[in-house]
Amino acid sequence: MTSDQLNFNDTETAFAHKSNRELVHDFEIYRLINQGWLVRMGTRTASRMIKWGIKAPIVLGMRSTVYDVFCGGETLSLATKKINQLYAYEVQSILDYGVEGKETEEDFERTTNAITQAIFFAKNYDAVDIVSSKFTGLIPFAILEKLHGGEELSQEEKEIYGHSKERIYGLAKLASDHNVSLFVDAEESWIQQPLDDLTFDLMLKYNKEKPIIYNTIQLYRKDRLEFFKRTVEQAKKAGIIYAVKLVRGAYMEKEKKRAEKMNYPNPIQNSKTDTDRDYNEALKFAIDNIEHVAICVATHNEESTMLATQLMHEKKLPTNHDHIHFSQLLGMSDNITFNLAKAGYHASKYMPYGPVKDVIPYLIRRAQENTSVAGQMGRELKLLKEEIRRRRLFVL
């Protein structure tokens, strides 16, 4: 199938994996999230209650609603049902231990164990080839911030950092030994430099023949397209595959606020059009250099996704090229993921999992982003409504 035969409006393919009950359930949840005031009020209340240590009612409220739509399950074995449900339609899962905002050594140890388990899980399971990680779940944020700013670490910090690095290098080796790819998420711009350095160093070790370690590039940053091009040149010289997840970026408001507060130029592009231009340019650059680059096209943007497939087609690359992969977050843009998979592309869902109480920050971000991203929510609702009509469920 060529890119001009891809149809992101095909709701029958998009939702074939959902039963009638699941479809209606998701529709109701999206209808709720679409109420901006409700999300604002709900997330404010939830954040306050978490601060006060009152988690039980939030957990209860979220478990059968947003958690159910956006997360795989509380444990890997509980997530298996969803993983299989997706894989029945050739959609793989990227395992993302969704616990965020942790800072103690015990937390880092727990996250390391969770990622280790996920790698072992993936090794035995065709439905999972990739495990995702956030380095802030493995290294203290304050240390990353100092390293980014070129500040000297204290003796104690050096020891903690050394320990964190040991964990990360251990995970990367394990992933490589078992032929599982390890994604490293991009986070705030003021900690990104050490993440870039660490991932490049790991790529020097493990990406000689195939893409194992993936960095992430946020094209909503003004300087990242240039960074991408520069780093690919370095990778070429070193004889490795530069593997990268291309995203627009999730921390726009936070970046703007910090830049204003600390009086430095906002690193984020001046407009959405500028972000889109650089994102699409990055896709083109990657596909032009696909021998040396591996990408995960991580977006819900239909134009960018279609562009990537067109560029592949122009270069006569097979739809299932080993270096090109598409991914959307679980609960979002099934119309893109499932239609790509049906057309033979590598398509996957980013699947967060973990205890409900620990995934709450992720869920709050999801709800907020879905109300703030212009058009995204309306589109999800419209597609679900169309499929409900097509199945003649008459619940509207």
Ligand X SMILES: Cc1cc2nc3c(=O)[nH]c(=O)nc-3n(C[C@H](O)[C@H](O)[C@H](O)COP(=O)(O)OP(=O)(O)OC[C@H]3O[C@@H](n4cnc5c(N)ncnc54)[C@H](O)[C@@H]3O)c2cc1C
> Interface with ligand X by CB under 6 A: which residues?
185-186, 216, 218, 220, 245, 247-252, 268-269, 271-272, 275, 298-301, 327-329, 350, 373, 376
Please report how close the Cβ of residue 391 comes to ligand X at its closest, in angstroms: 27
Taking the least distance from each CB to ligand X, the nearer of 3 and 269 is 269
Taking the least distance from each CB to ligand X, the nearer of 278 and 387 is 278
Taking the least distance from each CB to ligand X, the nearer of 58 and 95 is 95
Other Cβ atoms closer than 10 A to 51: 8
Please report how close the Cβ of residue 266 comes to ligand X at its closest, in angstroms: 10
Taking the least distance from each CB to ligand X, the nearer of 313 and 365 is 365
Please report how close the Cβ of residue 363 comes to ligand X at its closest, in angstroms: 14
Please report how close the Cβ of residue 305 comes to ligand X at its closest, in angstroms: 9
Please report how close the Cβ of residue 275 comes to ligand X at its closest, in angstroms: 4
Please report how close the Cβ of residue 229 comes to ligand X at its closest, in angstroms: 20
Taking the least distance from each CB to ligand X, the nearer of 58 and 216 is 216
Please report how close the Cβ of residue 27 comes to ligand X at its closest, in angstroms: 21
Taking the least distance from each CB to ligand X, the nearer of 58 and 93 is 93
Taking the least distance from each CB to ligand X, the nearer of 168 and 252 is 252
